[in-house]
């Protein structure tokens, strides 16, 4: 009988995290920046310039930061691969015993653990040690370029929201339009990301909305204060 392979949410956790964080930051940081300029009595042109600058610099910063961070993880994983490959070539018996001991610690009988270790190492010794000793699997392997592209692109998509609102909203109501629209988008993003991760959509939406409102309010307040005395 043919069995379908189950698809779990953890398989997409790497790119999902980068994409969600990127979109959230894109909306929040760009909206906050534009609200600060608006609260300082900036014109529509000032808001658009600030928003475009925030979009470009933010997307580049997110992509570069994600690439450097994930690449560091990839370097560590590669170093572990080299070390494990060396240990397998110089002390195969010791590596057999180490892997068997791991399975014993997880509940297998010693004889069965030895059989499992022998069979897995005969099939893919390096893969068995990377997976069961170090926790490095294909689903969680570091992918720097994928993470950087997802982060930068999602930031850009998120940042377009407050920019678009600024273009179409009346000048006198720009602050309210940016604030409300950004909060609605943040709430939707929080709910969708929570659903994708199997968590409560309501809690996810509320959490993102609260901190988003707080960040935008603080930035607008600072812009108002500095705009008054500038």
Dist CA 4 CA 173 (whole Å):
54
Selection from 32, 14, 41 nearest residue 228 by Cα: 41
Compute the half-sphere exposure of residue 17: CA atoms within 13 Å on the CB side of its CA: 12
Give the pLDDT of residue 201: 85
Closest CA to 21 of 69, 89, 72: 69
pLDDT (0 to 100) of residue 143: 76
At 69, list the tokens.
Answer: 């961070």
> Residue 3's pLDDT is what?
45
Q: What are the phi and psi torsion angles at 7 (to 5°)? A: -110, 120
The pLDDT score that the predictor gives to residue 62 is: 86
- The pTM (predicted TM-score) of the whole model is 0.69
Element (H, E) at 67: helix 44-90
Low-confidence ranges of the chain (pLDDT < 50): 1-3, 5-6, 8, 11
Q: What would the pLDDT profile of 158-170 be if each residue is shown by its tens digit? A: 999 999 999 998 8
Q: Domain coordinates of the chain in residue numbers?
A: 12-79+144-229
87-142 pLDDT, tens per residue?
777 777 777 777 788 888 787 888 888 888 878 777 877 777 777 777 666 656 66
User: What is the pLDDT, as a whole number, of residue 191?
Assistant: 85
pLDDT of residue 92: 76
Q: Name, in order, each residue with C-beta under 8 angstroms of 209's C-beta and a sequence gap of 6 or more.
A: 183, 186, 187, 190
């Amino acid at each position: 009988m043919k069995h379908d392979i189950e698809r779990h949410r953890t398989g997409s956790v790497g790119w999902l995290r980068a994409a969600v964080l990127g979109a959230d930051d894109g909306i929040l940081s760009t909206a906050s920046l534009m609200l600060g300029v608006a609260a300082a009595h900036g014109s529509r042109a000032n808001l658009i310039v600030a928003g475009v600058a925030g979009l470009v610099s933010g997307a580049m910063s997110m992509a570069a930061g994600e690439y450097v961070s994930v690449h560091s993880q990839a370097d560590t994983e590669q170093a572990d691969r080299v070390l494990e490959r060396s240990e397998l070539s110089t002390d195969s018996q010791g590596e057999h015993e180490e892997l068997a001991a791991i399975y014993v610690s997880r509940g297998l009988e010693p004889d069965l653990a030895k059989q499992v270790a022998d069979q897995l190492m005969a099939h893919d010794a390096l893969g068995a040690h990377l997976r069961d000793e170090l926790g490095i699997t294909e689903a969680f392997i570091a992918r720097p370029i994928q993470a950087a592209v997802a982060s930068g692109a999602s930031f850009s998509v998120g940042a377009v929201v407050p920019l678009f609102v600024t273009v179409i909203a009346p000048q006198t109501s720009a602050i309210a339009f940016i604030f409300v629209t950004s909060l609605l988008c943040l709430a939707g993003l929080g709910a969708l990301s929570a659903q994708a991760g199997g968590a409560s959509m309501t809690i996810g939406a509320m959490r993102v909305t609260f901190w988003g409102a707080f960040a935008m309010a603080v930035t607008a307040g600072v812009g108002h204060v500095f705009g008054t005395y500038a």
